[in-house]
């Protein structure tokens, strides 16, 4: 019995581009879009305006006035957290062949930020709890309950600034791997790496000079925001043009 081996067929199967990486890249883009849609409103439309109120009583009253929206914001935060981890997991699967160490660092920084954000949701819900629970207000006194609500909202802001450190750190290995492979335009990859500096600078300014940070936040956070929006749009429209290679993965 003679077996004929079609070498050309094997070569075609080996070298033909797979559609799976493109589908995964678009899945990462959809998840990143969900991060934007679910993550921005709770911070920009709920917590920031309420925290800007003058005095603990006004802050607690604002939480009570929008209690349902405030509680819905916590749910939106959880959707954002899960989607953000999903982005990192999908990109890790796509990019680990580029450089295993950088891919692990990217995933680790993302996972740390996700853990901080998940724990920080407790501060958000505690602010809602102390502001809206009539029994607590009766036993503690309304001023004390309002003060605790405002305090937990402030603690949420501090937790968000800590998570922001890792928002920045995860962008650098991601941008570096994309720069190295030219899987996206280098302008996007470079802006992602620059975004690391922006997030770290904004977090540092928040702790060193909170009053000054309010003025500097748009300057520091605009580059990473533009980079991430550009990346998610590129993932959705173009996917990732990853090189097809059988070379050994860099460790």
Predicted local distance difference test score (pLDDT) of residue 9: 46
Predicted local distance difference test score (pLDDT) of residue 10: 41
Assign 203 a pLDDT band (cuts: 50, 70, 90).
Answer: very high
Give the residue ranges of DSSP H helices in the chain. 7-15, 20-41, 48-51, 56-65, 67-95, 100-132, 134-140, 142-181, 186-208, 210-237
Match 């407790």 to its residue by tokens.
Answer: 122
pLDDT of 28 > 80? The answer is: yes
CA–CA distance, 25 with 212 (Å, rounded to integer)? 39
* Closest listed residue to residue 220, CA positions, set 232, 234, 208, 236: 208
* Closest listed residue to residue 148, CA positions, set 162, 134, 128: 128
pLDDT of 11 > 50? The answer is: no
Give the length of the chain.
251
The three-class DSSP label of residue 239 is coil
pLDDT of 79 > 80? The answer is: yes
Whether 147 and 79 have beta carbons less than 8 Å apart is answered as no
Assign 1 a pLDDT band (cuts: 50, 70, 90).
Answer: very low
* Closest listed residue to residue 250, CA positions, set 99, 92, 96: 99
| pLDDT over 70 percentage in the chain | 90
Angle at which helix 142-181 crosses helix 186-208, to 10 degrees, equals: 150
Predicted local distance difference test score (pLDDT) of residue 4: 47
Assign 244 a pLDDT band (cuts: 50, 70, 90).
Answer: low
* Closest listed residue to residue 106, CA positions, set 89, 121, 119, 123: 89
Predicted local distance difference test score (pLDDT) of residue 153: 97
- Output the pTM of the full model: 0.86
pLDDT in tens, 48-78: 999 999 999 999 999 999 999 999 999 999 9
Query: For 28, how many CA atoms within 13 A lie in the half-sphere containing its CB?
Result: 25
Separate counts of helices (H) and strands (E) for the chain? 10, 0
Whether 119 and 159 have beta carbons less than 8 Å apart is answered as yes
pLDDT in tens, 14-23: 444 557 889 9
Mean pLDDT of 221-241: 93
Mean pLDDT of 216-238: 92
């Amino acid at each position: 019995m003679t077996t004929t081996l079609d070498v050309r067929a094997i070569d075609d199967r080996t070298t033909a581009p797979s559609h799976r990486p493109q589908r995964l890249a678009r899945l990462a883009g959809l998840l990143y879009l969900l991060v934007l849609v679910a993550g921005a409103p709770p911070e920009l439309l709920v917590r920031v305006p309420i925290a800007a109120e003058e005095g603990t009583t006004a802050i607690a009253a604002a939480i009570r006035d929008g209690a349902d929206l405030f509680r819905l914001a916590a749910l939106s935060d959880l959707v954002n957290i899960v989607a953000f981890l999903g982005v990192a997991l999908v990109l890790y699967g796509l990019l680990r062949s580029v450089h295993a160490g950088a891919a692990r660092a990217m995933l680790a920084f993302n996972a740390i930020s996700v853990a901080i954000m998940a724990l920080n949701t407790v501060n958000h819900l505690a602010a809602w709890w102390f502001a809206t629970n009539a029994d607590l207000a009766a036993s503690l006194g309304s001023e004390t309950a309002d003060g605790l609500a405002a305090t937990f909202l402030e603690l949420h802001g501090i937790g968000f600034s800590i998570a922001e450190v890792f928002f920045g750190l995860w962008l650098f290995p991601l941008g570096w791997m994309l720069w190295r492979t030219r899987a996206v335009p280098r302008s996007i990859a470079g802006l992602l790496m620059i975004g690391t500096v922006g997030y770290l600078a904004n977090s540092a300014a928040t702790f060193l000079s909170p009053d000054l940070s309010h003025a500097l936040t748009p300057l520091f956070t605009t580059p990473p925001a533009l980079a991430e929006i550009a990346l998610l749009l590129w993932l959705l429209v173009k996917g990732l043009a990853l090189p097809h290679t059988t070379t050994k993965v860099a460790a």
